[in-house]
Amino acid sequence: MSEKGEIVAAWSERTLIERIRLASQKKSDGLLKSIGDDCCEVALSGSFLISTDTLVDSVHFDNSFHPPHLLGRKSIAVNLSDIAAMGGRPRFVLLSLCLPENIEWDWISTWLDGALEILQEHDCVLIGGDTVKGRSLVLTVTVLGEPVAPGSVYRDGAKEGDSIWVSGPLGSAGGGLELLKYNKNHPDSLDLSSWEALLGAHLNPVPCIGIGMELARSGLISAMQDISDGLATDLAHLCLASEVSAVIHASHLPFLPELSSAAAALNLNIEDLILRSGEDYQLIFTVKSGKEEEFTRLMSEKGKDVYQIGEIRSGRGVILQNDKGSDDISFQGYEH
Amino acid sequence: MSEKGEIVAAWSERTLIERIRLASQKKSDGLLKSIGDDCCEVALSGSFLISTDTLVDSVHFDNSFHPPHLLGRKSIAVNLSDIAAMGGRPRFVLLSLCLPENIEWDWISTWLDGALEILQEHDCVLIGGDTVKGRSLVLTVTVLGEPVAPGSVYRDGAKEGDSIWVSGPLGSAGGGLELLKYNKNHPDSLDLSSWEALLGAHLNPVPCIGIGMELARSGLISAMQDISDGLATDLAHLCLASEVSAVIHASHLPFLPELSSAAAALNLNIEDLILRSGEDYQLIFTVKSGKEEEFTRLMSEKGKDVYQIGEIRSGRGVILQNDKGSDDISFQGYEH
């Protein structure tokens, strides 16, 4: 880089760090010490949840069609989803940004706008962060949350006879990604405005925090996780952890009407998108045997749409039943 | 990569992840849920400390002379040092490893050996971790710790009249790094065995956890941080946070005898190494005014060597006094 370029970079990096520092000054219950010391110090009553996730340029996102503001939102959303998947409330976030020398400072600054925006929407506070120089863009987000009573919901609690549910339509993010990739390779050949919900599901996913907490509070849920790698893989993780198998019914799987037209336009198998595409960030969970009626009533009272898709059985595997028969689809989902 | 290369890489990555998973199965007080769910869940009584740090290949370490086993130890040690600098006890660690396709699997596996070894020495447990693919090697470590009674020591508590102390010799890691860099460029021109303590200080730094907890427990300390960017910069951070100035006496600064011979051999200014080189990971702290005698007695009883190097004054800046006069050396330390 030229000397002038170096000066601009040094100035821009300090501006970015200063923005992170200022954002981290926000007060919050239980936050004893935020950015500006060797550690942050936090007091949460009882236990706390923690998850960390790394996003790499060109591996986890495509800069060419992912606007930085929405990517900032998504970088945080996927971490908030991990807290939602335990039924917890997200509280605090730390950022570690590895920035290459040729970074576009407007890009990363707009990314930070998006990240801070979604944090504010969820009353979640950035408490620390650092930036380091590197050869490629690597964004690591660490999120801290607190369980809501009566406690966190793990993956390993599903029992034979429990019913299997999801919190919303499947395959939307996968459909959106396929549309964006097709559009990148064949510009102007599709009218993307017909599929805004699918594009939004990929570009700007909404973490299921409210419903996650409702499910945990209900005490009726035996196991839960989020769907990041596709239903086939994530339900297989839940079954493996719980030492059970699952039967799901193809006709019960919820999806948006838009997905049918997108699959047709792209000549893709819709079942593949629903079962095997990643990043929907819906929750998959099991309702304790005998509690389905109480659960359905509760969800109806709370105005929450949830979808029963199958049942937990003994044994191993994730079996898909459709009108042609049944297949084991365990771990057929998306691999990062 | 060839198809065979891809198979080896896939196998090696699974082996690495499996090693991380197995290491994360260790039970520990307060650990409710480790790796294998959407989040880890931890219960610590009262508050907890958290810090995250990213190391980038060729920026934060030089693979050509840093053995991976020692780099694994150091990657953890620098994070444990952040907990030590608050006077806390490190408890849990999460790893995020961004691995390039051409990674040498023996290298990263040996790195993990070193990381797990130092964690075990400090009774600290790996509770989670993930690996992602990227274009360069980026290692992010997140550490969680708990304060010891009567609580954490921050940077911002120093008051006029307090005395300034360090926990050990300065400049050792900087001297070691200069020796290793010189030796890389001029192979076999130095007998490195004369400077093992300096090399060790750079390659395998020891976090000051025991002394950090003693200092916090004493109740006699008003401010503390670790020295990662050199005394001149880190004391300036402490002074800025505390809104005070510092006077330090050149003749009181502790350093190893080896540092003199290394500076002579490399034709470097020893004062630069002591004041301005980074990564010593000693603690710098202030003892409350009027408590020096009680503090000195306590350290002597505990068998801890500590060194008084100056005093806190009102105003701003970090003033170095030597026989030639005085200079403001604020923020003249190492920049990452």
Query: pLDDT digits over B80-127, tens only?
Result: 999 999 999 999 999 999 999 888 889 999 999 999 999 999 999 999
Nearest to A132 among B38, B54, B88 (CB): B54
Cross-chain residue pair B50–A144, CB shorter than 8 Å: yes
- Which chain B residues contact residue A37 at CB under 8 A? 86, 154-156, 225, 241
The answer to whether A177 and A277 are in contact (CB under 8 A) is yes
Please say if the pLDDT value at position B138 is more than 90: yes
DSSP per-residue string spanning A199-246: HHHHHS----HHHHHHHHHHT-EEEEEE-SS-HHHHHHHHHHHHT-EE
A-chain residues within 8 Å CB-CB of B43? 46-48
For position B183, what pLDDT does the model report? 96
Dihedral sign (CA A335, B3, B6, B10): positive
- pLDDT tens by residue, A255-271: 999 999 999 999 999 99
- Give me the pLDDT at residue B146, please: 95
**What pLDDT, on the 0 to 100 scale, is given for residue B21?**
87
Q: How many CB atoms lie within 10 A of CB B269?
A: 10
Entry field: residues in chain A? 336
Smallest CA-to-CA distance from B266 within B173, B168, B177 is with: B177
Yes or no: say if A108 and A15 are a contact pair by the CB < 8 Å rule. Answer: no
**How much is the pLDDT for A49?**
96
Q: Is the pLDDT of residue B2 over 70?
A: no
Instruction: Determine which of B25, B37, B59, B335 to mutate to test the interface with A (most A C-beta atoms within 10 Å).
Output: B37
Closest CA to B85 of B114, B119, B117, B51: B51
pLDDT digit string, tens, across residues B217-243: 999 999 999 999 999 999 999 999 999
Least confident of A16-20, A169-173, B67-71, B259-263: A16-20
A58 CB neighbours in chain B (<8 A) are 135
Closest CB from A43, A82, A136 relative to B39: A82
Q: What is the pLDDT of residue B149?
A: 86
Q: How far apart are CA A248 and CA A166, in angstroms?
A: 11
Mark A304-333 as b/e (b = at least 16 C-beta within 10 Å): eebbbbbbbbeeebbbbeeeeeeeebbbbb
pLDDT per residue as tens, chain A (336 positions): 556 667 767 778 888 888 888 888 888 999 999 988 999 999 988 899 999 999 998 888 998 999 999 999 999 999 999 999 999 999 999 999 999 988 888 999 999 999 999 999 999 999 987 889 898 899 999 999 999 989 999 999 999 999 999 999 999 999 999 999 999 999 989 999 999 999 999 999 999 999 999 999 999 999 999 999 999 999 999 999 999 999 999 999 999 999 999 999 999 999 999 999 989 999 999 999 999 999 999 999 999 999 999 999 999 999 999 999 999 998 887 765
Q: Give the CATH superfamily of B3-147.
A: PurM-like, N-terminal domain (3.30.1330.10)
Strand partners, A128: A94
CB contact under 8 Å between A138 and B98, yes or no, is yes
What is the reported pLDDT for B103?
87
pLDDT band at B332 (very low <50, low <70, confident <90, very high): confident
B19 to chain A, closest Cα gap in Å: 18
- Residues of chain A contacting B225 with CB distance shorter than 8 Å: 37-38
pLDDT of B132 > 60? The answer is yes
Contact residues, chain B, for A54 at CB < 8 Å: 96, 98, 130, 132, 138, 140
Task: Report which of A97, A87, A106, A93 is spatially closest to residue A34, judged by C-alpha positions.
Answer: A93
Q: CA angle B83-B88-B91, nearest 5°?
A: 75
Select from A38, A52, A132 the Cβ nearest to the Cβ of B86. Answer: A38
> Which of B39, B226, B335 should one mutate to test binding to chain A, selecting the residue with the greatest count of A CBs within 10 A?
B39
Considering only alpha carbons, which residue of chain A is nearest residue B133? A59
Question: Quick one: B212 exposed, middle or buried, by C-beta within 10 A (0-12, 13-18, 19+)?
Answer: buried
Q: Which of A41, A130, A156 sits opposite B152 (nearest CB)?
A: A41
pLDDT on residue A5 = 66
A199-230: buried (b, 16+ CB within 10 Å) or exposed (e) per residue?
bebbbbbbbbbebbbbbbbbebbbbbbbbbbb
Partner residue facing B39 (CB), from A32, A49, A132: A49
Range in A41-50, A79-88, B11-20, B170-179 the model is least confident about: B11-20
Q: How far apart are CA A29 and CA B47, in angstroms?
A: 12
**Whether pLDDT at B176 is above 80:** yes
Enclosing H/E stretch for B128: strand B125-134
Instruction: Find which of A28, A39, A154 to mutate to test the B interface (most B CBs within 10 Å of its CB).
Output: A39
Domain boundaries, given as residue ranges, for chain B: 3-147, 163-328
- Please determine, for residue B331, whether its predicted confidence score (pLDDT) is greater than 90: no
- Look at residue B5 in the predicted model and tell me its pLDDT: 66
- Distance between CA atoms of residues A136 and A76, nearest Å: 20
3-state secondary structure B43-83: ECCCEEEEEEEEEEECCCECCCCCCHHHHHHHHHHHHHHHH
pLDDT surpasses 60 at B336: no
When CB atoms are compared, the residue of B36, B47, B241 closest to A42 is: B47
Q: Cα–Cα distance between A225 and A283 in angstroms, integer?
A: 6
Answer whether B82 sits within 8 Å of A39, measured CB to CB: yes
The residue ranking higher by pLDDT, B163 or B59, is B163
> Is the predicted pLDDT of residue B315 greater than 90, yes or no?
yes
Q: Give me the CATH topology for the region A163-328.
A: Phosphoribosyl-aminoimidazole Synthetase; Chain A, domain 2 (3.90.650)
* b (16+ CB within 10 A) / e for A163-176: bbbbbbbbbbbbbb
Asked whether the predicted pLDDT for residue B309 surpasses 80, the reply is yes
Q: Among partner residues B38, B51, B59, which is closest to A39 by beta-carbon distance?
A: B51
Cis peptide before B257 (omega within 30 of 0): no
Question: Is the Cβ pair B135, A135 closer than 8 Å?
Answer: yes
Lowest pLDDT segment from A101-105, A122-126, B138-142, B185-189: A101-105
Contact predicate A246/A320, CB 8 Å = no
Q: What is the DSSP letter of A193?
A: G
Interface probe, candidates A14, A37, A222, chain B, greatest B C-beta count within 10 A: A37
Per this entry, what is the length of chain B? 336
- The reply to whether residue A82 touches residue B155, judged by beta carbons under 8 angstroms, is no
Res. B333: pLDDT tops 90: no
* Chain A nearest C-alpha distance from B33 (Å): 8
Contact check, Cβ <8 Å, A96/B156? no
Query: Hey, is B224 helix, strand or coil?
Result: strand
In angstroms, the separation between the Cα of residue B16 and the nearest Cα of chain A is 16
Which value does ipTM take for this structure? 0.91
pLDDT number for residue B3 = 65
Residues of A in contact with B40 (CB under 8 A): 49-51
CA distance B82 to chain A (A): 5
Report the residue of chain B nearest A101, measured CA to CA: B59
Structure-token match 């970015």, residue found: A16
